[in-house]
Amino acid sequence: MANTNVVNGLRPVQNLDGSPWNGKTRKFYKAAGTTVTNDYFPGDPVILSGSGDAKGIPGVSIATAGANNQICGVIVSIVESQDHLDRTWIDGADAGYVNICCDPNTVFEAQADDALTYTDIGNNAPLVKTQAGSRTTGASGFEVDATTSTTANDQLKIIGFVQREDNTINSENNKVLVIINNHQFKGYTGNAGV
């Protein structure tokens, strides 16, 4: 059966020790930008921006997809404001706040941009942005690049496949379980794949 093509970035599903993900996040600041083309969506990977807001809440910007690029976490939700009580994204030109899952031991579910198989488990892969995020659904446009390697500085490590009837291994758009391999809070570039 063909896998359904549903791009929505990375979604936390459990902890590396097998326990359920506890839903804990940290609040980060998204500074106003100069363009509307860089919207922020749940599922987007982010990196520390090197700044913050006037209260000292750290700032983030969207991580760059590809090898050698670190990630500090993934947007889980958009913080509501008085103007936007049901926000599912932040316009790239606006300032706002996001809740980030930044625990290096979190396991995420993500869709691969091509077929992956069981021999890819333990390998590393970069992210790829295959489409713009959706202002209608609030879904991220990031996927796992199916070009896996043992390169230590790749952004993600594949640790398994989602065990559902609607997820066929070695078929396009399959859903994989990953951890952030090149994590900003770990202080190194990541571990080599196997």
CB 72, CB 185: distance < 8 Å: yes
In the sheet where 156-161 sits, what is the strand order? 11-15, 106-111, 175-180, 156-161, 124-125
Distance (Å) of CA 17 to CA 20, 118, 191: 9, 21, 18
Does residue 81 carry a pLDDT above 90?
no
CA distance 12 to 7: 15
Distance (Å) of CA 59 to CA 11, 50, 55, 96, 128: 21, 7, 11, 10, 23
Query: In this structure, which amino acid lies at residue 6?
Result: V
Q: How confident is the model at residue 129 (pLDDT cuts 50, 70, 90)?
A: very high
Q: What's the pTM value of the predicted model, to 2 decimals?
A: 0.93
Distance (Å) of CA 172 to CA 63, 129, 165: 25, 16, 15
Does residue 85 carry a pLDDT above 70?
no
Per-residue confidence (pLDDT) for residue 192, from 0 to 100: 83
82: how many CB neighbours lie within 10 A of its CB?
A: 5
